[in-house]
Amino acid sequence: MLIKTHASGFNHPVPSEITPQGIYHGRRDLIKLMATGAAGAAMAGWAGRQAMAQAVQKPGKLATLAGGKSAVAGAVTMEKVTDYKDASTYNNFYEFGTDKADPAKNAHTLVTKPWSVAVEGLVKQPKTFTLEDLLKLSPQEERIYRMRCVEGWSMVIPWVGYSLSELIKKVEPLGNAKYVEFITQADPKTMPFVGSRVLDWPYVEALRMDEAMHPLALLTFGMYGEVLPNQNGAPVRMVLPWKYGFKSGKSIVKIRFTDKEPRTAWNKAAAQEYGFYSNVNPNVDHPRWSQATERRIGEDGLFAKKRKTLMFNGYEAQVGQLYAGMDLKKNF
Amino acid sequence: MAARQKWLLHPAAKPILFVVCLLPFAWLFYGAFTNQLGANPAEALIRATGDWTLRFLCIVLTVTPLRVITGTSALARFRRMLGLFTYFYVVIHLLSYSWFDMGFDFADIAKDIAKRPFILVGFSAFVLLTPLAATSFNAAIKAMGAKRWQWLHKLVYLIAGLGLLHFFWMRAGKNNFAEVFVYAAIIAVLLGWRLQQFLKKKRLQPTYGMGRKLS
């Protein structure tokens, strides 16, 4: 096909085609400059619109949490950002119900103040951080990531947070720390479905140490320029854009460093369906459905064909080397 | 009793029921065009039409027990319409899946069926329901003879089982069976009543079976 659409998937550019980082980072300034009149009145309207296009609209519902520019490669996708309404009403957060509309209806009972996160296990400096400590630990950055759910749908969400590696460096993991385990809140009093037999509570997720240290692995406190809504995992969660959404634990209360691969919640529920890695991979199907395509929420209308899913959700250039030499069919 | 019968026999009763049965479809149609089906309208449409198929199946299976238990013979005149609406919703369900989920790509559909056996179960239920819908008019009953027609239409019990299995299997991915059990309980009661009636009839006519054996 000569005419490329999103359906033809992600093509790697050759190095000579890649825009130098400096020019890329200056693109908005360039457009703004045009908008101020340098390019003439006729162009100004167009340029002004372009400058607005990726400026994330704050929904004005919760406290502001601004994130600065990120220097991390792959931190900001230029794809159209999903509507806040969709991102905050279509959620999987089983502690509040299994229907995707449930968390938005039920999560108001979650108590996020006071909140603390215990960091423990194989580290030199175990410590319990209050949320306030964590918020200040490193500068907040805006990261616009693709999010691909294992169920076959996706969104583009502007998160606010900083690389988990910043926290890891502070607590100084010991040499034998090979994995990082994320234990999330499980309070039957405020989370009505904790106690249902759907999963083994608390919801636990984990990463290999090198995955956890990857700069794209985001310790997340906000989205759309505001603090996280409860249904999206307030007050602190992980976001791992190259893995299926369920790997990104919500409402985290404990981070533990271990030497053995932890058993994660979905792996315990169905090991043959949900592997430890759960990297987005269009070539390895879920045993019960294809992972080759996805529906972009709010964009691919009823009659549109689903779009192709990208290897590592389009972050192959950044994270591919973490899995070099691994059989991804076996280590799914 | 007589008042109820008179009300059910009113010439407007059938048109009113027809409109009521169309309401879920009208709402979904309206919702799809005004973007009120939530973040994932394709999924919402597929699930809602599946739900309504199961609901109509339960409703149509309720007609006979209700008629016999309450002695309201007039209820029988609504059975065909309710059965046809069950078929209507299953057709919309199948169309929504093939169109909105699969984009009418039949190679993809074939692969999907191999991947997800619960779709095959649902599809079988649809195939089995088709001859029932096709023989719903009076001339078909005459042409087939009442006995054979009734035998064919007993397939609905199997179809109800397949529909439940389809729903159960779909929800198995999330270990989320609460709703499945509600439908299963309703269908179990409705089919259980028929089994009980059948056994009662057998007990009341013990010579009927023996006589046939001797002849």
What percent of chain A lies above the pLDDT cut of 70? 83
Contact: B176, A98; criterion CB under 8 Å: yes
Please tell me which residue, B102 or A142, carries the higher pLDDT value. Answer: A142
| ipTM at complex level | 0.75
Burial class (CB in 10 A: 0-12, 13-18, 19+), A223: buried
The mean pLDDT of A123-144, rounded to a whole number, is 98
pLDDT digits (tens, 9 = 90+) for B110-154: 888 888 889 999 999 999 999 999 999 999 999 999 999 999 999
Nearest to A160 by CA among A58, A252, A50, A277: A58
Please tell me which residue, B30 or B207, carries the higher pLDDT value. Answer: B30
What percent of chain B lies above the pLDDT cut of 90? 74
Chain B contact present for A90, CB below 8 A: yes
Number of Cβ atoms within 10 Å of the Cβ of A75: 20
**pLDDT over threshold 90, residue A25:** no
At position A132, the amino acid (one-letter code) is E
Task: Give the pLDDT band of residue A265 (cuts 50, 70, 90).
Answer: very high
Average pLDDT of chain A to the nearest whole number:
89
Chain B contact present for A101, CB below 8 A: yes
Contact: A289, B45; criterion CB under 8 Å: no
For CA atoms B98, B102, B107, B111, give the dihedral sign: negative
Chain A contact present for B95, CB below 8 A: no
In chain A, what residues touch B38 (CB-CB under 8 Å)? 89-90, 101
A53 CA to centre of own chain: 21
The mean pLDDT of B85-95, rounded to a whole number, is 97
Task: Give the pLDDT band of residue A49 (cuts 50, 70, 90).
Answer: very low
Q: Quick check: B184 and B164 in contact, CB under 8 A?
A: yes
In chain B, what residues touch A232 (CB-CB under 8 Å)? none
- The residues spanned by each domain of chain B are 2-203
Q: At what angle do helices B41-70 and B178-204 cross, to 10 degrees?
A: 30
- Residue B5 has what pLDDT? 84
**pLDDT over threshold 60, residue A254:** yes
In chain A, what residues touch B116 (CB-CB under 8 Å)? 288-289
Q: Taking the CA atoms of chain B, what radius of gyration do you get in angstroms?
A: 20
For residues A235, A240, A243, A244, the Cα torsion angle rounded to the nearest 10 degrees is: 20
- Residue A7 has what pLDDT? 65
Domains and CATH numbers, chain A: 21-53 (no CATH), 62-323 (3.90.420.10)
Q: Which of B40, B43, B101, B180 to mutate to test the interface with A (most CBs of A within 10 A)?
A: B40
The mean pLDDT of A1-10, rounded to a whole number, is 60
Chain B contact present for A113, CB below 8 A: no
pLDDT digits (tens, 9 = 90+) for B33-47: 888 888 899 999 999
